[in-house]
Structure 1
Amino acid sequence: MAADAGTVRVDVWIWSVRLTKTRSAAASACRAGHVRVNGERVKPAHPLRPGDRVRVRNAGRERVVVVSRIIRKRVGAPVAVECYSDHSPPPPPREAVAPAGRRDRGAGRPTKRDRREMERLRGMDGGPRGGTS
């Protein structure tokens, strides 16, 4: 079955316009149900035409784009943005995203000094070290 001249596979297109990093990631996203065309979940080989609305969930963010031009080869970012019009919701503000790996001083696991102080306060002091008298 020959493909129409004005269509391209959805996984190839979302990879070509840089919505995913690799073509295999684009195909995996389609199989996992993270890609919708005109509101319907699609397989990687689904034909895509100009005017189709593509919704891609990737890396914790949802992108909603309308296809304006069909391309089959991966292109640079300036050319890629000309192939679709972006209708994505704005990303969450940076303040809403908690920074990873940062904590207040003193929060988290207690130090050895803190543990000794807690044991002393609880009355769990084992007496002098080194002996069991």
Structure 2
Amino acid sequence: MSRSTPDEKPALAAMRLDKWLWAARFYKTRALAVDDIDKGRVQVNGQVAKPSRDVRPQDTLVVRQGPVTRTVVVQALSNLRGPAPVAQALYAETAQSIAARSQAAEARRLAAEPALAIVQGRPTKRDRRDLDRTQQGWQRWSASIDDA
């Protein structure tokens, strides 16, 4: 009869999606993971999932966080949120996902800054007064009798 020591933990066959995303460091808290899952930003094996869905090794996840979409394959399960190198061992990102992320990052880097499109910006008080003086048809409305 073999006895297990307290240090030995049975291998997990499956675990909750929100807990795995938290342990793999995709989200800081499980609550944030649940919010994104509920918004349909996480898919498991091509299907929109619920936070309580079981994740197993070799499942494919598509996780969209802002403009970044990652496709990962679950390699291992963990109940604990460990350091980043341990968390990265829980999944493997697909080559297509890595290429798409780097291409999107390059496109964002090369995109024009929106603030540069504004040539002059908001008019100053002096600019506004100049506009008022130069426009002949522009008259301020007045309720005084003298204007009649």
TM-score (norm 2): 0.72
What is the CA distance between 1:52 and its match in structure 2? Answer: 0.5
The residue aligned with 1:10 is 17
Change (3 A) 1:61 1:118: same
The residue aligned with 1:82 is 89
The residue aligned with 1:122 is 135
Structure scoring higher RCO (CA < 8 A, sep ≥ 6) equals: 1
What is the CA distance between 1:95 and its match in structure 2? Answer: 2.2
CA RMSD after TM alignment:
2.4
Matches within 5 A, 1:1-133: 5-87=12-94, 88=97, 89-90=100-101, 91-93=104-106, 94-96=109-111, 98=113, 102-103=115-116, 107-123=120-136, 124=138
Q: CA offsets per residue over residues 65-110 of structure 1, 9 Å max, x none?
A: 11111111111111111111112221432122746xx447852210
Which stretches in structure 2 are left out of the alignment for 5+ residues?
A: 1-10, 141-145
**Maintained 8 Å contact 1:20/1:58:** no
Amino acid at match of 2:39: A
**Maintained 8 Å contact 1:15/1:23:** yes
Which stretches in structure 1 are left out of the alignment for 5+ residues?
A: 127-131
Q: Which has the larger radius of gyration?
A: 2
